[in-house]
Amino acid sequence: MSWNCSLNPLQCTRSDVLFDGLSYPPITLTVDVAANAPAGVTNTATVGGGGETNTSNDLSNDPTTILPNGTNVPDLTIGKTHVGNFSQGQHGAVYTLLVQNTGTAATTGQVTVVDTLPPQGLTISDMHGTNWSCVAATKTCTRSDALPSGSAYEAIQVVVDVTMGAPLSVTNHASVSGGGETNTGNDTASDPTTIDPFSVGPDLTLTKSHVGNFG
């Protein structure tokens, strides 16, 4: 059995059983792009039915860059990652930011990266990256050398200290701008972080005793 699709309304249906852990064949949607389309759009799709009870994961968004007709432009994206969990009271925890150019032309002019720490739990102690000019006090890094299409700048390291009263989950945000790009719909990144509660280390004790009197 295959999908039964219509354009008005724009939907596809089928009634055959989908077993646990398996997938239906993909649906391909072919579109025409208007001459006055914006530089960035987001397409949204939903699924429903089948007897399911959990509907919280039934929607998917797909941000799409639209280039001006007959032109090549840069398109900056940013990724933000960390390794493992942080801990309350930890010093020197590290986030890594990576700026890439997914457009069809090299960047021009200054590129700016801003890291936005959550309002509670983290304080910045250092921010640096090869060939970046960073100011930790403003959580900002800049550079003006061209980034070719399909390439990435050197990573930025954001070093933070975790307060003793930090919540057990925080989300750090970062953004990139400039470089001559026109699509700003993919210029932010979020990195949810788990923070482990503070725990006291080992505590050794020593007891010394004897029995009776010595001679």
Q: CA–CA separation, 185 vs 39, rounded Å? A: 8
30 plus 107 within the same structural domain = no
Domain tally, the chain: 2
Structure pTM?
A: 0.64
Q: Which domain holds residue 115?
A: 76-196
Q: Tell me the torsion sign for CA atoms 92, 144, 76, 178.
A: positive
Any domain includes 203: no
Q: Could you say which of 65, 92, 118 is where a domain stops?
A: 65
CATH classification of the domain holding 146: 2.60.40.1530
Any domain includes 49: yes
Any domain includes 120: yes
Any domain includes 205: no
Query: pLDDT tens digits for 114-157?
Result: 999 999 999 999 999 999 999 999 999 999 999 999 999 999 99
43 plus 129 within the same structural domain = no
Going by the DSSP 8-state scheme, the letter that residue 185 receives in this structure is T
